[in-house]
A = this chain, B = another copy of it.
Amino acid sequence: MTMEAELREKIATLTRIFAMRGLLGIHGHISAFDAETGRIYMCPGFAWDKATTQPGDLFVFDLKGNILEGQGRRVPIEWPIHTAIHSRRPEVGAIGHLHSPYATAFAAVNQEFRPVLLQGSMFANGVPIFPERHLITTPDLGERVADVVGGGRAALLRNHGTVIAASNPEELLFVSMILEDTARAAVEAAALGQLDFLEPEDMPANEGARLADRAQAAWKYFATLEARWDRQPPIGSVALG
């Protein structure tokens, strides 16, 4: 398989997995970057039926934000998040802009995310928050988001959602799910008392290696679930998407 075919396949699969888990919402989008060709593969934007996305459905952007393929589909208008981070961090192979409901709850109270579970120890140093109330629709805004993400794995966008920067689609999946699930645990536990947040010293020494290993296993697992998903819409008043 060519690199393009592989990235298209993975972004399409990941788009469907995120749709299954309710992490994209109606507004989110994800991308993978081929550093050799400078091409960014990105799922369509607002109100696209992400649960059925196929490799041929993706947009191709260059690093300046020009659309090379995909005309006629709904443009993911916050593409500057992707171009800004892919431009400055060649080690980042995949980026997600998610409206995952629980991580976004921290963004709705304008608090830095801190983990309350060991599974979230990769975030023991916290997750910064982008403080401006704007959709990220211009290169300037994209640069300022990239400044907040810095060399890290994630940022919250105030009153808005999240950005995840990962080595590859497999890590994008796992990091995103850990962030969301750890946020869910915080929201549910907060009713019981003072949250008991991890401290920076709880960051494992070998976090990167552990992540690479677990991300591959988690990818295989969620791809299996996605393959048997009946693609029924959520019932009742769940998060938009």
Contacts and interface: CB of A to CB of B under 8 A. Distances in A.
Contacts of A119: 27, 99, 240
Contacts of A46: 214, 217-218
Say how many copies of this protein the assembly contains.
4
Given A116-B108, A229-B233, A234-B235, A191 B187 contact: yes
Given A104-B185, A187-B188, A191-B187, A225 B233 contact: yes
A102 B192 CA distance: 11
A177 B100 CA distance: 16
A63 to B, nearest CB: 26
A181 B239 contact: yes
Nearest to A119: B27
Interface string A70-94: 0000100000000000000000000
18 contacts: A26-B221, A46-B214, A49-B224, A101-B184, A106-B189, A108-B186, A109-B116, A109-B190, A116-B159, A118-B133, A185-B239, A228-B233, A229-B232, A230-B230, A230-B232, A232-B232, A236-B238, A236-B239
